[in-house]
Amino acid sequence: MKLALALILAPAFAAADPRVEAALDDDILPGFAALTQATQALADAQTCDVADAWNTAAAAWVAVSHLRFGPSEADNRAFALAFWPDPRGATPSALTALLGEDAPPIADASIAGRGFYAMEFLLFDPAFAGEAGRCDLIAGLADDANASAQAIENEWQNHYGDLMRETGNGTYRDDTEALQELYKSLTTGLDFTTAMRLGRPLGTFDRPRATRAEMRRSGRSLANVSVSLASLQSLAVILGGDSLSADIQARFKVADDQIEAIANLDGGPDLSIVSTPAGRIKVEALQQRIAEIRVFLAETLGPDLGVIEGFNAMDGD
């Protein structure tokens, strides 16, 4: 009887696309679970000497930072976790304002003063080292980040994952749309790493901008590039399937090797190496390798998933 019922019911549930299933189960959901866990550890710390816990949590964020749709975007959660780039230096001023208040409600504060980038200032910038209230604010920001991470994970677990699995809803009309959303996050992530994580410190040849590197105070700049590429590779391989995965892995490997070559040099981890012509060339080469991955995906994986990137559609202006 049970079996018969199962057979009758089976056709009613169209099987989700295996690539979407794998992306959710092997990549996205574990990624957000790791973020919740890492921010929980950060929030649970009984001291404000939390550089290690912050490092783990910041890496967990970077690993999911390209998934800027659905639960991350609701209630500006991603912005509250990560306000960067910050070309006008809004974060230090927002922190100074928060430090001037007694037990400020963090969730209502300016997003520039919240999240991992704000915490990095408090933990690593000498300008904030002696500030009264620094420890309390670190704890407050950690709680706030944990609340955002938890909210994102809950929504993925309880709602959004199903929208992608069981398409034919208002968000994803079919599996192709869900695949295209994942593909878009992949290319957006590659573009962000090329243009922001590497492009900002590179500046121009005449004027490199080492102080614009992401999380340079903690020396995570190059590590963030590495973490983001690892995560993007994992998603690309899932989407690419058997036919493309070897090619995809080979291309990411070339970029990884270039990261290795930079990591061991003086000024590599915080990318301050861009200030010397010899160092700059190495970072430009890394940027180029990532751009090549992007082109490869646009020429192979994109069309595979029905994404043809139009001249105007891509301009976004």
Partner 1 sequence: METRRGFLAGVLASGLVPMPTWADVGDPTFLSAARTPDGGYILAGLDARGSIRFRIPLPARGHAAAAHPQRPEAVAFARRPGTFAVVLDCRNGDVLARLDSPQGRHFYGHGTYDQTGEVLFTTENDFEAGRGCIGVWDARRGYRRIAELPSQGVGPHDLRLMPDGTLVVANGGIDTHPASGREKLNIPDMRPNLSYLDVDGQVLDQVEPSAHLASVRHLSVRNDGLVGIGMQWQGEVAAAPALVATHRRGEVLREMGDGRRLDGYVGSVAFSGDSGRLAVTSPRAGVVQVFDLDGDGTEHCFEDKDVCGVAGTTRGLICTNGQGGLFSIANAAAHLARHDLAWDNHLVSLA
Query: Least distance from C-beta 41 to partner 1, angstroms?
Result: 27
Query: Least distance from C-beta 87 to partner 1, angstroms?
Result: 4
In sequence order, which residues have a C-beta less than 8 Å from that of residue 3 and are 6 or more positions away? none
d(CA 300, CA 275): 36
Q: Which is nearer to partner 1, 111 or 186 (CB)?
A: 111
Helix (H) or strand (E) holding 281: helix 277-299
Give the contact letters, 281-310, x = binds to partner 1 (CB under 8 A), - = no. ---------------------------x-x
Question: Which residue in the set 29, 45, 69, 104 belongs to the binding site for partner 1 (CB under 8 A)?
Answer: 69
Look at residue 44 and give its three-state secondary structure.
Answer: helix
207 binds partner 1 (CB under 8 A): no
Q: Which is nearer to partner 1, 79 or 296 (CB)?
A: 79
Residue among 279, 269, 275 nearest 208 (CA):
275
The region of 96-104, 195-203, 248-256, 289-297 touching partner 1 under the rule CB under 8 A is 195-203
Per-position DSSP letters for 191-230, written without gaps between them: HHIIIIIIHHHH--SSS--GGGSTTTTTT-HHHHHHHHHH
Residue among 188, 195, 233, 190 nearest 214 (CA):
195
Q: Which is nearer to partner 1, 136 or 284 (CB)?
A: 284
The DSSP secondary-structure symbol of 93 reads: H
d(CA 259, CA 285): 10
What tokens does 271 get? 């990318």
Query: Least distance from C-beta 254 to partner 1, angstroms?
Result: 25
Q: How many CA atoms lie within 13 A of 187 on its CB side?
A: 18
Q: Which is nearer to partner 1, 195 or 291 (CB)?
A: 195
* CB 115 within 8 Å of CB 81: yes
* CB 222 within 8 Å of CB 197: no
Q: Which is nearer to partner 1, 86 or 304 (CB)?
A: 86
Q: Which is nearer to partner 1, 70 or 240 (CB)?
A: 70
Give the contact letters, 82-121, x = binds to partner 1 (CB under 8 A), - = no. ---xxxx----------------------x----------
Give the contact letters, 246-285, x = binds to partner 1 (CB under 8 A), - = no. ----------------------------------------
d(CA 47, CA 65): 27
170 binds partner 1 (CB under 8 A): yes
- Site for partner 1, rule CB under 8 A: 69-70, 73, 76, 79, 85-88, 111, 170-171, 195-196, 199-200, 209, 212, 308, 310-313, 315-317
